[in-house]
Each structure stands twice: as structure tokens, then as C-alpha cells.
């Protein structure tokens, strides 16, 4: 599992007139769909892809509801989500 970055020069200059460089993550390959994600998880569990797909959809619904209630959602090992 490798992450690829490319250096990008900022369009805005600092007070001293310098333009800083920063790294942007480069996305590779195709987008993984919810169904594909469910199939990947099902391979590692005793659940069927349909069962996992249902759980993932329910997770998204529950997260959306919590976020719309101005709550923060933390998924351990993945990240913290909040509305801005």
C-alpha cells in the first residue's frame, strides 16, 4: 500500500514574497464503489456481500443523521467527521 504525492507550488505568496511548496496526494486507479467495498469486507468475514452492503448503507445513514444534528462522528482507525 503506497501513497503517492506531487509537489505543488502555492499560487499565493508569503509576506516576504516567497511562494511555498506543499504536497498533494495523487489518486490512482478507479473509485471503489459501496458494492465493491462490501465485497472486499465480505471476503474477510462470515457475512454475505449483501449483508455488508446493508450495514455500510446503514452506517452512512446514521452518520449523516448525526452530522446533520451538529454532532461529530469518530470512526476509530479512519477519522473524525464533522460538518463545516
Taking the CA of residue 19 as centre, how many other CA atoms within 13 Å lie in the half-sphere pointing to its CB? 6
Angle (deg, nearest 10), helices 34-43 and 49-68: 120
Q: Is the pLDDT of residue 20 over 80?
A: yes
**pLDDT tens track for 35-54:** 999 999 999 999 999 999 99
Predicted TM-score (pTM) of the model is: 0.67
Q: Is the pLDDT of residue 1 over 90?
A: no
* Residue 2, pLDDT score: 84
Amino acid at each position: 500500500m503506497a501513497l503517492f504525492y506531487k509537489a505543488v507550488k502555492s499560487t499565493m505568496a508569503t509576506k516576504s514574497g516567497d511562494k511555498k511548496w506543499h504536497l498533494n496526494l495523487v489518486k490512482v486507479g478507479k473509485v471503489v464503489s459501496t458494492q465493491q467495498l462490501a465485497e472486499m469486507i465480505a471476503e474477510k468475514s462470515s457475512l454475505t456481500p449483501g449483508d455488508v452492503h446493508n450495514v455500510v448503507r446503514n452506517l452512512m445513514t446514521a452518520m449523516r443523521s448525526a452530522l446533520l444534528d451538529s454532532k461529530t462522528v469518530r470512526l476509530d482507525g479512519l477519522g473524525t467527521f464533522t460538518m463545516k
